Amino acid sequence: MIRKITVFLLGLMLFIPIQGLAASDSKIVADMQYIVVGPAEDGSSTYLNNRSYYVNSSAEEYKGDGQSEAVLTVTLPEGAKDLNFLDSKIAAKQIDKGFITTTPVRPNERIELAYSYRMDKGKDIKLTINYPTQSLMMLVEEGNGRVEFNGVTSTEPELLNMDGKNFWLYSLEDLKADQTFTMVYKQDVQPAVDSSKQEQTASNSGAASNVTHTAPAFHNPGHLRMWAQSPLRSFDPHIFLIIVGVIVIAGISYYVYFRRKARLEEERLGADKEEKAFKLLMTKQKAIMDKIIELEETFGDGKLSEEEYQAKLDAYKQHLVQVKLNLRNFVD
């Protein structure tokens, strides 16, 4: 489940503007981080599952500041407990305010830190960003409440389906090193429905007017003579005019209706064509992400060398970027 969420968010991250990280002065940057927030199994605390992806953007091996054994330093919120490292590939050690890693990061290497911890239920969670972060995503499973933020701006929650489960996604972008903000997890409060999407109607009433407009007491004699000599002289002229008026109005109404129908049909055909193109691009994106999953599994089984794995992964990423650029024509 966690691996599928990771690959899904890798694809989702391609819709975020590419900016900022390459120009950072920091040698270590985080291109993506996501935290799954929810109640612990016993319901007495809040559980946070964190996966962060750090990149050494320099051409030299990164070993930290050289003043201690720490390579990377991760600060946990005050009150965090039951820290658990979910991956043993990177050596880590717990300290007073969080934990450190002691494994050097090779040039241009991208590493993953996976860990979890718990917070007391109802306690505000003060998070610290240790390194420049392009995208931080908060995920709350549907029905498990919502999160709110103080000191930072997030996107409106968006409901996403991943591996058969629905998650509310909150996205924070371009966070700076040493930036802090507070997250409030409300387990019993669900995200509000966007009221702007609901139709609202209102009606106004007013008094009816009883004013009667009377017709002239006589008609032009010439008009009366012409009507009396015409083939329609057996019809009441007033009723005839009403019938003609109804026919004209009906003709105009039908003309407008069929013109509008034809225009809507043209728009529908155009929309169908765009929808097919969009679905094709989404299918390509899913196929590439499936290839990434397969590549990771093959590499994990030891069937690929580090160089082959990195070369194929870079190729897939470039292809994903091209798909992203094409999808932006529909999103923007």
Q: What pTM does this model have?
A: 0.53
User: Residues with Cβ < 8 Å from 60, sequence gap 6 or more?
Assistant: 107
With a cut of 60, say whether residue 14 has pLDDT above it: no
Q: What is the average per-residue pLDDT within 24-51?
A: 87
Query: What pLDDT score does 15 carry?
Result: 42
The closest of 157, 174, 179, 162 to 31, measured between CA atoms, is 174
Query: What pLDDT score does 180 carry?
Result: 95
For residue range 126-164, what is the model confidence (pLDDT) as tens digits? 999 999 998 898 999 999 999 999 999 998 898 887 767
For residue 33, give the amino acid letter: Q
For residue range 213-238, what is the model confidence (pLDDT) as tens digits? 334 444 544 455 555 556 666 666 67
Phi/psi-derived region of residue 174, left when phi > 0, alpha when psi is between -120 and 50, beta in every other case: left
With a cut of 90, say whether residue 125 has pLDDT above it: yes
Where does residue 318 rank: exposed (0-12), middle (13-18), buried (19+ CB within 10 A)? Answer: exposed
Confidence of residue 289 (pLDDT cuts 50, 70, 90): confident
Confidence of residue 38 (pLDDT cuts 50, 70, 90): very high
Give the helix ranges, DSSP H, for the chain.
2-13, 221-228, 237-300, 306-331
For residue range 184-212, what is the model confidence (pLDDT) as tens digits? 999 998 887 554 433 333 333 343 334 33
Query: Between 23 and 285, where is the model more confident?
Result: 285
User: Residues with Cβ < 8 Å from 70, sequence gap 6 or more?
Assistant: 64, 100, 101, 102
pLDDT mean across residues, the chain:
78
